[in-house]
Amino acid sequence: MLLLHDMVIAPPSPAAMLHKRRLPDDIPAILALPAPKRLRPGVPPSDDDGAHLVLPRLVTAAGTGGDRVPEDDGALLWDDEDTDDTTPRLSWSLPRLELQMGSAYIPKEEGVHPMGEDAHFMSPATNAFGVADGVGSWTRRGVDAGVFSRQLMGLCKAELEARPFSGSTTASWLQGVLERALLRTTARGSSTALLAAVEGRLLRAVCVGDSGFLVVRGDGVVYRSPPHQRRFNWPYQLGLVDRRDPPDCAQWLAVEVEPGDVIVAGTDGLFDNLFDAQIRDALATTLESGKGAPQELAEEVPWAAVWAYEGEEETPYTMGRREAGLPTWCGGKPDDVTVVVAIVQWAAATANNSIIHGSAPGVLPTTSFIY
């Protein structure tokens, strides 16, 4: 069952930046400093999946001689101290970036909870999105963890749009959103969670557990978020009962993005079954077929994960089991698969007809749903 969004899709601009080509094994990633671990005793293992604090980078404005510009988009590029107060100052606000998004969700075949345990949202108004994966072991206690994840993501979206970003760092804003949403969640269960937003030239995210994202630029993967887990298949998870992990255990991530970048976020059903290069190849194949809108890309990627876990090739999950000394098999891990695809572009107020680093498809989401 494939659940999609109602979208208004205009013909995509040319986006043939991706080409099928194998990636090197050493895909670069932003270095992270470990944050203090806040482990609570007695946290039970889970059948689903320490924390990193990623220091923000400062962008450099062209023509400033290397002067660093804060992430808030405002940059004074020239200010002559010898001029009097009546002399006009020349200032330039750097162009803003925005996300054009699409999503798709394929629950695993299961009669007990047909809606699955994943949830996600997209918020074009705040240039943000989120994904969550309810922990499946709650089923053994008669609890539908999908109710928890859906409620958590719905509340995160409401918090984001009720308290737009203003002044604080994007990461602390997202952290506060996650904390307030969790406190308002009434369902029993627990889940992983990823919240991400673009502000300035940075994509910032807070992540608890093994939901994650990668950034594709041209024909390569330039960033992949690290899994946030204690050990293989034991992720950090948010919850209000049974001493689950608190929101402040989240890792904070940041990566510089450019117009034309493609961000692919998903739950572990995606990343357990597809290597990064396979996700990139799925995007490239879709683009080569003439489809380039975010929704069109999002509809194709999860099926690649389903085919992988039904197949007989090695997957990241089976590789991880082998490296952990656990019994393994051919194929992958049957699971719900959620995918959010976001294409980075200049905001409409600053876009022009010759956007550098590629052009973005013209897609205008009319609504945003919680699954």
> Would you say residue 105 lies in a domain?
yes
We report the CATH number of the domain holding residue 338 as 3.60.40.10
Residue 308 domain-assigned (yes or no):
yes
- Domain contains 74: no
Minimal CA–CA distance to 301: which of 287, 314, 290? 287
On the 0-12 / 13-18 / 19+ scale of CB atoms within 10 A, 38 is middle
Judge whether 348 lies within some domain: yes
Is 77 part of any domain?
no
pLDDT band at 242; cut points 50, 70, 90? low
> How do residues 356-371 score in pLDDT, each as one tens digit?
222 233 222 323 344 4
- Could you give the number of structural domains in the chain? 1
Residue 127 three-state SS: coil
Entry pTM: 0.70
For the ranges 31-40, 56-65, 89-98, the lowest mean pLDDT is seen at 56-65
Confidence of residue 96 (pLDDT cuts 50, 70, 90): confident
Q: Ramachandran region of residue 116, left (φ > 0), alpha (ψ -120 to 50) or beta?
A: left
Res 222: pLDDT: 97
Q: Does 62 reside within a domain?
A: no
Give the H or E element holding residue 306. Answer: helix 294-310
Question: Is 352 part of a structural domain of the chain?
Answer: yes
For residue 216, being part of any structural domain is answered with yes
Provide Rg for the chain, Cα atoms. Answer: 21
| pLDDT tens by residue, 141-190 | 888 989 999 999 999 999 999 987 665 677 788 999 999 999 999 999 99
Determine the pLDDT at residue 45: 43
Tokens of residue 86, six digits: 């009546």
- Which residues form the domain of 251? 3-39+48-55+92-365
Q: Residue 4: pLDDT above 60?
A: no
Does position 272 have pLDDT exceeding 70, yes or no? yes
Q: What is the mean pLDDT of the chain?
A: 74
Token pair, residue 73, equals 């988009």
The token pair at 344 is 């980075």
User: What is the tens place of the pLDDT at every residue in 176-203?
Assistant: 999 999 999 999 999 999 999 998 899 9
